[in-house]
Structure 1
Amino acid sequence: MMRRLGSVQQKIPCVFLTEVREGQSAKRDRQQFQVVATERVNPVALEANIACALATEKLDGTCCYVALYKGQPYLWARLDRKPNKQAEKRFKKHQHSHRSSKGFTWNVEEDFKTVPEAWIPAHRVKHHNGRPVPDELGHIPGWVPVEGDNKQYCWHSAVVDYEVGAALVLRPNADEGDVLEIAAVPLADLVEQTLELIGTSVNGNPYGLGSKKRPVHCLVSHGSVKVTTLPPLDFQQLRSWFHESPEGRVEGIVWHCGDGTLLKVHRHHLGLRWPDGEPCFGNRSVVVRVDWTAEEYTGGKDLFASLSALNGHRFSRLQDIQFDP
């Protein structure tokens, strides 16, 4: 049986040591510096024996978590607790003059925006005097349960059915590893896992799923999409792989080490654009395995019902999934 992969609860360190350089960040608006990889491998990676780690594709969506809420398995959306305007100004000023967030002092009670009552901090967030401590970005990573009446999380809601206790999961097919499948998976089987929500209305939809008229969203368990063509851990070889290999058209790589350590590299770390051409994930073939009767789902436009009507159907590319008009 395969070992349980690390869940993504906080910022994952880069597999290379990084440095800060002047210039507009390609990832974050209003950030006037870039974090780029150097050619030196992060000692954390060597200590965790990264040579034996499982390399997986980093997918471009939004992070989710499955955990109990009100006594049943629920999907939780990522919600970082962020500083208010005054505190953010002080923090940015400190960052600019020190080129770092080190040495900045937060007043967690007064400096942060309020969050919903059900909000919980992510695992491994440091605490001081019983209160969660912000990370180097000035955020406190956390989660909020996805409830049906919250419009902000309507795309999260589309992939779960709490009455039936299931979620729509996109995963490699057990018999054909290069083929993906969309399946309705019991939420109870996903408890304590983190997953990526991808689809039509998430992060510009780099994988081309669905359309505005008929949106398609699904969850992908972190660590489930393996990368087998990766070169040795060398800066230049990895950069060439991302830049030139068809399999390298991915947002990044996450390594799952045997001791639970997670490490990553993002195209931005290597000075490369994302997306750049068609991502290889959107070009993988997919089979629909949502085999439930329509009566189980209320509402004809429901994504579960729509996919049930396509049960057993195979599409040559993920981006080709279409429903009859």
Structure 2
Amino acid sequence: MRRLGSVQRKMPCVFVTEVKDGPSAKREHQPFKVLATETVSDKAIDADVYSAIPTEKVDGTCCYITTYKEFLWNIEEDFKPVPECWIPAKEIEHRDGKPVPDENGHIPGWVPVEKNSKQYCWHSSVVNYEFHIALVLRLHPDESGLLEVTAVPLSELLEQTLELVGTNVNGNPYGLGSKKYPLHYLIPHGAFQVSNLPTLNYGDLLSWFEGCREGKIEGIVWHCSDGCLIKVHRHHLGLCWPLPDTYMNSKPVIINMNLNNYDYPFDHKCLFNQFSKIDKQRFGRLKDIMLDV
């Protein structure tokens, strides 16, 4: 069975960062902020970030789709206890069969999202375990500049990571749905490549984020040829996020469920059923999609 897992994902910044006094603009109750210097980090250089593919950093919560397995780990006593079914992220080093903390003292991992879990109900709303499909937001494969909301077989997403966005995730920076009728989507990592990006220079990037329409995003993630992911966040450059009008909401979107005219017996309140009712409809932007369940 294919399962959806959730985790916080750690990526190095493209620039060397420094810790400064003052409250964080990103994390509540954090009494310090992390700001980028003008020096490109050694990790980014070693990963050949200059030849990497830049993509939009989407503001959501990280998910991973894999075949469900149960693991039991004996984590060291000074780490927070983990659920029995927690599994470590693939890049984590192991010694003597035990996961080893990274340079920041973290052991990232995945927790399975169960169908009836209250804690992960918004994750579960975008996955139908009975029919093995997920509700995905991505670029339309044939029409440039058009987004599509579509149902994708979980088998096509196996071993991929995605970002869950929507009404009840991270304060809903994209203005999706409403509290009465919440909307959530999965976005594959790397789905939105960034165009019109300047050279990898602090001042040029700062100007791009501040002045370009394409720069109205949370940040950039560079996908390097060795598999390394390098990021820069607006907060690293001292810029605000969220923004009242994001680049993601400047694009039209089409509903394209790809259910091949098969009459799936969906629950009438589920997102898959609601989107099936408006299949093939176009909207000027994501904010315009409102479902009346």
- Work out whether the TM-score is over 0.5: yes
266, 281, 285: which one pairs with 1:317?
285
Partner of 2:241: 274
Match for 2:183: what amino acid? Answer: V
Deviation at residue 149 of structure 1 after TM alignment:
1.6
Q: Deviations over 1:65-118 (max 9, x none)?
A: 0100169xxxxxxxxx9xxxxxxxxxxxxxxxxxxxxxxxxx943223332211
Q: Which residue of 2 aligns with 1:42?
A: 41
- Kept in 2: contact 1:288–1:313 (CA 8 A): yes
Contact (CA 8 Å) 2:8, 2:61: kept in 1 or not? no
In the superposition, relative to structure 1, how do residues 315 and 305 fare at CA in structure 2: closer, same or farther (>3 Å)? same
Matched ranges for 1:173-188 at <5 A: 173-188=140-155
CA distance in 2, matches of 1:11, 1:113: 17
In the TM superposition, residue 215 of structure 1 has moved relative to its aligned partner by 1.0
Mean CA deviation greater in 18-27 or 171-180? 18-27
Change (3 A) 1:190 1:38: same
Q: Which residue of 2 aligns with 1:303?
A: 271
Map Cα deviations across residues 175-230 of structure 1 (whole Å, 9 max, x no partner).
Answer: 11311001100100111100000011101111111111111111000001111011
Q: Aligned equivalents of 1:113 and 1:9: distance in 2?
A: 14
Of 272, 281, 290, 2:257 maps to 290
Please give the per-residue CA displacement for 1:220-256, whole angstroms capped at 9, x wherever unaligned. 0000111101111110010011112121110000011
Distance 1:135-1:258 versus aligned 2 partners, 3 A rule? closer
- Cα pair 1:159 1:167 within 8 Å, conserved: yes
Cα distance change on mapping 1:233 and 1:183 into 2, 3 Å: same
Report how many residues are paired.
Answer: 284
Q: How far apart are the structure 2 equivalents of 1:33 and 1:133? A: 27
The answer (yes or no) to whether the contact 1:290–1:311 under 8 Å persists in 2 is yes
The CA deviation at 1:9 is: 8.4
- Letter of the aligned partner of 1:36 in structure 2? L
- 1:243 maps to 210
Q: From 100, 105, 113, give the equivalent of 1:133.
A: 100
Instruction: Please give the alpha-carbon distance, in whole angstroms, between the structure 2 residues aligned to 1:133 and 1:178.
Output: 43
1:167 counterpart residue number: 134
Q: Return the alpha-carbon distance in structure 1 between the equivalents of residues 82 and 48 of structure 2.
A: 39
AA aligned opposite 1:313? Q
Distance, in Å, in 2 between the alignment partners of 1:210 and 1:294 is 27
Q: Which residue does 2:4 correspond to in 1? A: none
The question of whether the paired residues in 1 share the 8 Å contact of 2:173 and 2:243 is answered with no
Distance 1:9 1:256, change over 3 A: farther
Q: Paired residue for 1:258? A: 225
Residue 29 of structure 1: how far off its partner (Å): 3.0
Question: Which stretch shows the higher mean deviation, 130-139 or 164-173?
Answer: 130-139
The equivalences for 1:1-325 within 5 A come to 10-69=9-68, 108-292=75-259, 295-324=263-292
Q: Deviations over 1:143-169 (max 9, x none)?
A: 111111211000000001111111011
Q: How many angstroms apart in 2 are the aligned matches of 1:308 and 1:172?
A: 19
Distance 1:266 1:20 in 2: 15
The secondary structure found in structure 1 opposite 2:214 is: helix
The Cα of 1:35 is off from its aligned counterpart by: 1.6
- How far apart in 1 are the matches of 2:233 and 2:127? 29
How far is 1:275 from its partner?
1.0
Distance across 1 between alignment mates of 2:60 and 2:137: 13
Find the aligned partners of 2:27 and 2:149 in 1 and give their Cα distance. Answer: 32
Change in Cα spacing, 1:70 to 1:138, as seen in structure 2 (3 Å) is closer
Which runs of no fewer than 5 residues in structure 2 stay unpaired? 1-6
* 1:131 to partner: Cα distance: 2.1
* TM-aligned CA distance change 1:70 to 1:162, over 3 Å: farther
Alignment partner of 2:64: what SS? strand
- 1:10 is displaced (CA, Å) by 4.5
**RMSD of equivalent CA atoms:** 2.2
